[in-house]
Structure 1
Amino acid sequence: MFIQQFFRKGAQLTEEVLKENERLRERIAELEGENGRLRAHLASDTAIRDLLRKIEQLEAEKVELVHRSVQMEAVSDRFSARHSEVEAELASLANLYVATSQLHASPNVRHVLRNIKELLAQLVGAAKFGIYLASDDRKELVALTAEGMNFADIATLPADSGIIGQAFSSGELFYDTENDVSKGTVERPAAAVPLFIDGQPIGVIVVFGTLSQKTSFNDEDGQLFRLLGAQAAPALVSARLFTDAGRKVPGVQAFLDLED
């Protein structure tokens, strides 16, 4: 009886041990599964962190590239602006060179006057203008030639009154910067350019009005006016003296005998 109970107890214990072992194996399997999920999750988190770091690096690179692009655009804009300025300066110098060449290209007074008229029309856009020299008593300005105006109306002008007279007597260049220069008048001309010989005004170029599409003057026009003021009178006087000398070039002795 005892032996039967002993073996029965042993069988129960063995069965309980087997069941507990089975539960342990199942728990181990569960833990292994959970561990696997944790490892997978950890690997996923690491990949996400790596991806976030990569995104941050790319964002930083993008910001740097954008910054460099902005800097390059600024440099490009400055270069383009300076390039445009240089082109404008070269164009202005070319116009001034052409003007100077034309003024002194002929020893004939009529040709010099024609060249001045062409420069005024082509480079300044003048439509109505006159070229004047002072009378011997310097009380009147006498027109040598005119364009776009009734010559009788502007053949002579007072040398001591109005904008034109003031420009002549003071020797100060005037060109309108406030009004539409295509609508200039005798009383309010678009420009009055004193003509100089040896620093003294001897006449004036008057632009009464410009072409309809030319409504204002710019710095380049001002430079051309100054050049005409300095060069037109010497060109006219030189041509007149050359004609008076019988269109003959003086001999070398005439230059050697020059007095200071």
Structure 2
Amino acid sequence: MSSDQRNRLDTSEDPGRDLKTERDEFLQKFGRGASLARQFLHDYEALEQRLRTLEAENAALRAKVEADHAVRDLLRKIETLEAEKAELLSRFNRAEEIRSNVVARMEDVELEFANLANLFVASTQLNSSLSPRAVTRRIKEILAQLVGAERYAMYLSNPEGTELVPIASEGVPGAQLVPVRVQGTRLGAVVESGAAAIDEEADPSQGTFEQPAAIIPLMLDERTVGVIAIFATLAQKNRFHTVDFELFRLLGRHAAAALVGASLFAQAEHKLPGLEAFLDLSV
């Protein structure tokens, strides 16, 4: 082969090597572009995911803020309701206190009326008859029904004033109903002092014949003419109350006078005294 032919052959092979190089370079550039595109898509997807996450977080925060506002509103409403509740409770407590005071006062008034009624009944009963037997029966009714005495006896002094003679009783054995000396006895001590003997701390239902629950002097013109001895009260009567002491005073002041008046009227054969007995009564 001649040199011209070789030169032409070499010249024809050079363009083939250039195309290959260009192809390789193009493929390399395309590969880098594809890689960049994939990286771009990956970054885009990551950014899109991050955006969705941020939107979700933003929505959650917005909902939380709205919920916080709602909670604050609810808390304010609860505080307002609690204040109103406290005010209503305070008013209710004041009203309840007033009601309790009114009820207590009404109970006191009712008790006072009941006590006054008992005293009125007792006073009326004592002065409703001029028969000694009837007066004695009235005294026993007062002791049993109003005082609640279960065992008791009434004594009057003998003319010499040395003994107390039983004239009426209830629940006391007959063997114990004997005259009692004034000196040296509990009953006689009340006659001598003119003051009632009542143990206010003891249970009157547990009294005995030797230790009476109450001894009441019977007075006539500031002179003691006898006693009423309450040896024991009913089981449910475990203490004396204010009305009982008022009844004791009533009996002490009026029972003897009622008995003496009835006895004198009986001795006069139920005859009223003449007008001359009242002529010099002016004071």
Match of 2:165 in 1: 142
Where in structure 2 are the equivalents of 1:1-260 lying within 5 Å? Answer: 46-258=69-281, 260=283
Q: In structure 2, do the counterparts of structure 1 residues 156 and 259 end up closer, same or farther at CA, with 3 Å as the change threshold? A: farther
TM-score of the aligned structures, taking structure 2 as reference length: 0.72
Q: What's the Cα RMSD here?
A: 2.6
Give the distance between the partners of 1:58 and 1:148, measured in 2 at CA: 68
Of the structure 1 ranges 233-242 and 147-156, higher mean CA displacement relative to structure 2 is found in: 147-156
Q: Which residue of 2 aligns with 1:25?
A: none
Q: TM-score, normalised by structure 1?
A: 0.78
Q: Which amino acid aligns with 2:132?
A: V
Task: Give the secondary-structure state (helix, strand or coil) at the position aligned to 1:129.
Answer: strand
Residue 119 of structure 1, CA deviation: 1.2
**CA 1:158/1:48 → structure 2, altered by over 3 Å: closer, same or farther?**
same
Tell me what 2:13 maps to. Answer: none
- The one-letter code matched in structure 1 to 2:91 is R
Identity percentage of aligned residues: 47
Deviations 1:60-113 (A, max 9, x none): 111111111111111122112111111111111111111111111100011101
- Give the Cα–Cα distance (whole angstroms) in 2 for the partners of residues 259 and 65 of structure 1: 68
Q: Is the 8 A contact 1:184 1:208 kept in 2?
A: yes
Aligned partner of residue 191 in structure 2, secondary structure: helix
Deviation (angstroms), 1:227: 0.9
Deviation at 1:155, TM superposition (A): 2.3
Aligned to 2:209, what secondary structure does the other structure show?
Answer: coil
CA offsets 1:21-43 (integer angstroms, 9 cap, x no match) = xxxxxxxxx9xx99x96987766
Closer/same/farther in 2, CA of residues 240 and 50 from structure 1, 3 Å limit = same
> Could you list the per-position Cα deviations for residues 125-168 of structure 1 after superposition, in whole angstroms to 9, with x for gaps in the alignment?
22221111111221111111222223342321122333222212
Q: Deviations over 1:150-199 (max 9, x none)?
A: 33423211223332222121111122333332332232111111011112
3-state DSSP class of the match of 1:178? coil
User: Cα 1:250–1:72, aligned 2, differ >3 Å: closer, same or farther?
Assistant: same
* Cα distance change, pair 255–60 in 1 and its aligned pair in 2 (3 A): same
Separation (CA, whole Å) in 2 of partners of 1:144 and 1:39: 102
Q: Identify which range, 150-159 or 201-210, moves more after superposition.
A: 150-159
1:236 partner amino acid: L
Structure 2: tracts of 5 or more residues without a match: 1-51
Aligned residue for 2:109, secondary structure, equals: helix
The more displaced of 224-233 and 50-59 is 50-59
Q: Which runs of 5+ in 1 are unaligned?
A: 1-29
Code of the residue aligned with 1:219 in structure 2: it is T
